[in-house]
Structure 1
Amino acid sequence: MGKRRVLTPALMGALAFLCSASSAEPVTFNGHGISLHGELLKPEGAGPFPAIVALHGCAGLYGRNGELSARHAEWAKRLVERGYVVLFPDSFGSRGAGPQCKVEDRVTRPAKERRDDAFASKAYLQTRQDVNAQAISLLAWSNGGSTVLYTVGEKRPAWDEGPDFAKAVAFYPGCRLPLAHGDWHARIPLLILIGSADDWTPAKPCEDLANQARANGEPVSIVVYPGAYHDFDHPHLKVHETDDLAFTADGGGSAHTGTDPAARADVLERVPAFLAQ
């Protein structure tokens, strides 16, 4: 027989924390003209904790098993372990919709419904006793990343009366339209993370947008990862090509997605460091 491992109180406490960090609590709260459903994850204790509103991409919040998708679950676990409350609003499911990657006439738009969802999620977190209302940041991927650009790049809606977002992180957002409008400005510190090989939401418009913002003295930074595709931070997604997408860089409907180990390793350290600054 192998040597029996003894669970010390310290180890049992650590295991309990990891279990609680990976357990999502379903929540429902008031959106802007809609009841929003979401998933909340939090550290143990009374807080108040800093918090993060995390916006899913066009594939939605959940995997095929009905649980948080692998990328969302892992990011939530890592952030909870660092002391953050994490809220994932379900923009699609709350409106009776499924994945929107292959849909042109989407039920939610980054510049409107999803932007409202971001502010409504912040407002909900600011009512919680376990959240520091002054320390709520925004983190998002792809379609959600595009939402970040509109959320931090326009005036806050009149109904958003609480403190503003502290910081924002956008993974591979679509930057072409905000750049083309020519009047985009960042209110708060923003970090854009994107791959140089991204053929879904290309890097060049994001680089131009960040350069334009920095020239205006705005707190926007960008990291472009050489050879990385869309979804480079996924924990275990083999690089592959997806067809029949509604919007891609060349308009052809096909784009590559998949994990890039080097880029993933960097963002796992860079994002928490940026949020903690």
Structure 2
Amino acid sequence: MRSLITVFVALLCAATPMAAAEPLPTPVAIEIPSGGYVLHAQLYRPGGAGPFPTVIGLHGCGGLAGRSEPVLPRYRDWAQELVKDGKAVLLPDSYGSRGLGPQCRVKERRISGRRERVADIVAAQKWLTQQSWAMPDRVSLMGWASGASALLWAVRPQLPEHVLPDFRSAVAFYPDCRASSGLGWSARVPTLVLIGGLDDVYSPPACRQMIDGARGRSALTRIVVYPGAYHDFDRIDLPLHQVAGADAAAPERGHVGSDPDARADAQKLVSDWLAR
């Protein structure tokens, strides 16, 4: 009898189609008027009408798009993770909107982190406050490398223009903290900095100094330094290597490479930080 029941259950399972896997979200191109130009962006959204918490993601010096894709894998992977967590993600393209390619090795950069990129952040935030599907009091910032450096400027108390309600929180992956650490940096919103202890593109000690110096005169700030990790530790399947050649989308110096353990920990920290 038991064997007959086992066979019946097996046949029933075989005859019942498996639930279809949730399709991965695809980005929608967005145009945001901003002064004398149009800020192009890519938007990822969960299904439904919302309203959703939203993250403004800020690309690094290599830009947002690839040769054949509107969003590079690093940002696409994070956007998909955040969407699974119930958040919308808006990715402004600061370089492509101005007709520029990667800016990592450009000697005379036309885009400043503290001016043009902060202006893009403000424009993106203003646009989000006008969208019925976005929660205006739950807009956070997340940036990588030079995008994270721009984020540090955008959350300073001295920012001359920002939209109310203010950002909920901010997460900066391996920013260049050297300028901010020497200028008495502080933040008006909770800010988390994540960087590899072996990052030789930027300076973990400068980020530690920046965060330590902000205590007592800032919103909540925290730094996590991953001892064995390098720059770009949160990218998937990037073998560790020293930057070489003249790739305009790569840093000028140092090592880059994935660290699965650091990435997994960062995913949990980011989820917890954005849930505040």
Tell me if the contact between 1:92 and 1:107 (Cα under 8 Å) persists in the aligned partners.
no
Which AA in structure 2 matches 1:76? A
Identity %: 40
**Residue 107 of structure 2: SS of its match in structure 1?**
coil
Q: Which residue of 2 aligns with 1:123?
A: 126
Gaps of 5+ in 1: none
Gaps of 5+ in 2: 1-12
Tell me if the contact between 2:57 and 2:142 (Cα under 8 Å) persists in the aligned partners.
yes
Taking structure 1 as the reference length, the TM-score comes to 0.89
1:221-236 map, 5 Å: 221-236=222-237
What do you get for the CA RMSD once the two structures are aligned?
A: 2.0
Tell me if the contact between 1:22 and 1:73 (Cα under 8 Å) persists in the aligned partners.
no
Q: Which residue of 1 aligns with 2:17?
A: 7
Q: Which residue of 1 aligns with 2:166?
A: 164
Which AA in structure 2 matches 1:50? P
Q: Deviations over 1:12-48 (max 9, x none)?
A: 3xx3xx32x4210000012243210010000011111
Which AA in structure 2 matches 1:255? G
| 2:263 counterpart of 1:260 | no
Query: 1:63 Cα deviation (Å)?
Result: 2.5
Tell me if the contact between 1:52 and 1:138 (Cα under 8 Å) persists in the aligned partners.
yes
1:207-226 map, 5 Å: 207-226=208-227
1:80-229 map, 5 Å: 80-158=83-161, 160-182=162-184, 184-229=185-230
Tell me if the contact between 1:56 and 1:140 (Cα under 8 Å) persists in the aligned partners.
yes
Query: 1:65 Cα deviation (Å)?
Result: 2.4
Cα distance change, pair 197–85 in 1 and its aligned pair in 2 (3 A)? same
Tell me if the contact between 1:245 and 1:254 (Cα under 8 Å) persists in the aligned partners.
no
Matched positions, count: 262
Tell me if the contact between 1:126 and 1:162 (Cα under 8 Å) persists in the aligned partners.
no
Deviates more, 1:104-113 or 1:230-239: 104-113
Tell me if the contact between 2:186 and 2:218 (Cα under 8 Å) persists in the aligned partners.
no
Cα distance change, pair 241–123 in 1 and its aligned pair in 2 (3 A)? same
**Whole-Å separation in 2 of the counterparts to 1:77 and 1:6:** 29
Runs of 4+ off more than 4 Å? 3-6
Taking structure 2 as the reference length, the TM-score comes to 0.89
**Whole-Å separation in 1 of the counterparts to 2:96 and 2:43:** 15
**Residue 86 of structure 1: SS of its match in structure 2?**
strand
Cα distance change, pair 84–60 in 1 and its aligned pair in 2 (3 A)? same
Cα distance change, pair 5–77 in 1 and its aligned pair in 2 (3 A)? farther
